[in-house]
Structure 1
Amino acid sequence: MQTSIDLVRRHPARYRVLTGDRPTGPLHLGHYFGTLQNRVRLQQLGVELFVVVADYQVLTDRDLADRPAGHAEELVLDYLAAGVDPDRATIFTHSAVPALNQLLLPFLSLVSVAELGRNPTVKDEIAHSRQGSVSGLMFTYPVHQAADILFCKANLVPVGQDQLPHLETTRTVARRFNDRYATAVFPEPEALLSEAPLLLGTDGTKMSKSRGNAIPLGATEDRTARLIRGATTDADRRITYDPVGRPEVSSLVLLAALCQGREPAAVAEEIGSGGAAALKRHVTEAVNEHLRPLRARRAELAKDRAHLRDVLRAGNERANALADATLSEVRHAMGMG
């Protein structure tokens, strides 16, 4: 099932949202326009927001990143700089909430190996894995996400179209648990489909931390300019907005438009026959202008690393209290205590 943003606006108190990121590196412009802005909007509407720093999920397809605690702090830094309010949102880490992860065991008993193997998101993750083989943990990825969502009984999950299979797994787990144990412990969460546009990376493929083609939120203005100068375009000097026919050029046009709050076609028309060089100058100015306040907040917040750890500590305490209560309900329903 899907929920419209209009319904959320009318009844924000009905919704508890779970979202999050893996701490594999700094967040970038794709995250900012794809998820961060939406989280802030939901928070401002009055929706209860939970944000997981999914450090355990880093293990699903690669070795644990260096300095996982440092990466977690960097995510918190990006969240706060973008406007997530830790007084109104619960920001926590997987590894600090044992009861959440313990839910994985009963949840795995509710899905078949065949169902896990058919999950298209798992297939895509495996295809893009840089390893010759993947661990068994990869196949538990959708069920681990179900534990993330259900431990706090979130009933709304912002997702892209490609993530709907994961959410359907969560709905299946909730429904089967409630049916098997004749109880109503878990809601079946609904999807809030993201309308965020797809931004390509500097190499013309999907912007991704792991592909090294992203523009980090915390990059300096000079580094931002260098990254944009190196972006893939084409030989046609006339700049147009044609996402199908000219995806790389159009992604740059779209990025400028998002930063300036304009229509992409108008941006392309303004640049006209200036070619790739003029386009990249325009995009660089737009990005640096738009991110300047965020980067200033980020630099100020970075001076107090203890505050970032305090935010995580408080969020972990809140998440643990909820996870312990949910696990207790689960054990009672299963006749285990």
Structure 2
Amino acid sequence: MKKQVLTGIKPTGRIHLGNYIGAIKPALQLAENESYDTAYFVADYHGLTKVHDQKEMKELSYGVAATWLALGLDPDRAIFYRQSDVPEIFELSWILACFAPKGLMNRAHAYKSIVEENQNGGKDVDMGVNMGLFTYPILMAADILLFQSKMVPVGKDQVQHVEIARDIAESFNKHYGETFVLPEYRIQEETAVLPGLDGRKMSKSYNNTIPLFEEPKKLQKLLNKIKTDSTPPEEPKNTKSSVIFSLYKEFAAPYQIEEMRRKFQDGIGWGEAKKELFQVMNSFIEGPRSKYEELMANPHILDAILEDGAEKARQKTIPFMKEIKKKMGISH
């Protein structure tokens, strides 16, 4: 039996390098492995925790879909769908909520972070918390478990969500017998937390991201803003702690990486290193950027692909939901 792999990205901002390196790139690499069945989705309902503007939601959702396709996702070889087009996910979400302890939700990172921020600011602990954000891990568990996902490529900040899905699955299985596959997360250790422009984790929240399909001049300006240390040009540079080198090796060929490693040892200046980073990145992104722009200009193509993907998804989810409900005694 092939292992099921599942990855989703929520439309809460433009796709940035952290999304690509932490989730999209490893997920697409798994798609090339014949041992896996792959499913990718646009997590538009997850995006509702932050985005409440109709036009913005539509534009960002198309942006996520166009990114996957521009970077090489083949919808004929994988299931590629929009989360909102598969109603079984939300039906399962309620079922799983009935097996999810509130204490477990209290410990979810996103919720805890807001509570701590409110406490430090002398505000009500739940200020700014909607129930979508609070129960976010349950919906993510439904995404994962409904597809019997064995492997979930995620960034390091999403590991807890996979663990929560596993905990809820174990609770359900204990009551009704082996039903859900227990998922495992997969992260790229070297790029588990990709630094942003200011050295902190690359995040939309910190406004320190680099959009993946930024046009060349703006991309070069953003790369020039990357924070570097004060090592003089003539002295060797540390590749392990360098944001520039971390990014460079994600887009360069093996021989280029070794050449850059040597230049770091020889004392390349930061300005020159940033220039070389721009060259390999822009060269890699050029083709996908063009495809992305073409797809964004033709949303009807994206709709057709996603609707076809939802049909394929529901061929899996409808029978499994019937099995789940039968086990619980709430279906004929």
Does the pair score TM above 0.5? yes
Q: Equivalent residue for 2:7?
A: 19
Match of 1:280 in 2: 274
| Deviation at residue 333 of structure 1 after TM alignment | 1.2
**Residue identity in the other structure for 1:15:** K
- Which of 113, 116, 139 aligns to 1:144? It is 139
Shift of 1:191: 2.7
Shift of 1:110: 0.9
**How many Å separate the matches in 1 of 2:301 and 2:166?**
36
1:93 is aligned, of 71, 82, 85, to: 82
CA distance in 2, matches of 1:205, 1:264: 24
Conserved in 1, the CA contact under 8 Å of 2:80 and 2:310? yes
Is 1:270 the equivalent of 2:270? no
Take 1:85 and 1:313, find their aligned partners in 2: how far apart are those partners?
A: 15
Given the alignment of the two structures, is residue 209 of structure 1 paired with residue 197 of structure 2, yes or no? Answer: no
Question: In the alignment, which residue of structure 1 is the partner of 2:238?
Answer: 241
In 1, the alpha carbon distance for the partners of 2:160 and 2:148 equals 19
Counterparts in 2 of 1:158 and 1:329: CA distance versus 1, 3 Å:
same
Q: Deviations over 1:187-213 (max 9, x none)?
A: 112233433513211122211234332
What is the deviation of 1:78?
0.7
3-state DSSP of counterpart to 2:300: helix
3-state DSSP class of the match of 1:48?
strand
* Maintained 8 Å contact 1:174/1:186: yes
Task: Number of aligned residue pairs: give it.
Answer: 318
TM-score by length of 2: 0.86
Determine what percentage of the aligned residue pairs are the same residue. Answer: 29
> 1:285–1:126: structure 2 CA closer, same or farther, 3 Å change rule?
farther
**Aligned counterpart, 1:331:** 325
Distance 1:225 1:42, change over 3 A: same
Residue matched to 1:251: 243
Asked whether the equivalents of residues 91 and 316 of structure 1 are also in contact (C-alpha less than 8 Å), the reply is yes
Contact 1:218 1:295 in 2 (8 A): yes
- Which residue of structure 1 lines up, in the alignment, with residue 121 of structure 2? none
- How far does residue 302 in structure 1 lie from its aligned partner after superposition? 4.0
> After the TM superposition, which of the residue ranges 131-140 and 280-289 deviates more from structure 2?
131-140
Per the alignment, in what secondary structure is the counterpart of residue 251 of structure 2?
helix
Does 2:99 correspond to 1:110? yes
Distance 1:235 1:161, change over 3 A: closer
Q: Post-superposition shift, 1:45?
A: 0.8
Whether the 8 Å CA contact 2:15–2:211 is kept in 1: the answer is: yes
What is the CA–CA distance in structure 1 between the aligned matches of 2:117 and 2:151, rounded to whole Å?
28
**SS of residue paired to 1:225:** helix
Aligned CA RMSD, in angstroms, stands at 2.6
SS in 2 for 1:163: helix
AA aligned opposite 1:83? G
Pair 1:227-2:236 in alignment:
no
Match of 1:260 among 252, 258, 263: 252
Instruction: Spell out, residue by residue over 1:190-242, the C-alpha distance to the aligned partner (whole angstroms, 9 max, x if none).
Output: 23343351321112221123433222222111111111122222332236125
Structure 2 equivalent of residue 31 of structure 1: 19
Distance between the aligned counterparts of 1:125 and 1:58, measured in 2? 17
Quick check: 2:89–2:143 contact (8 Å CA) kept in 1? yes
**Structure 1 Cα separation of the partners of residues 189 and 306 of structure 2:** 29
**Residues 243-292 of structure 1: CA distance to partner in whole angstroms, max 9, x if unpaired?**
4xxx5xx0112212322234868525415445332222121112112222
Indicate if the aligned counterparts of 2:62 and 2:296 stay in contact, CA closer than 8 A.
Answer: no
Normalised to the residue count of structure 1, the TM-score between the two structures is: 0.84
Q: State the SS of the aligned residue for 1:205.
A: coil
Structure 2 residue runs of 5 or longer lacking an equivalent are 119-125
- Maintained 8 Å contact 1:94/1:101: no
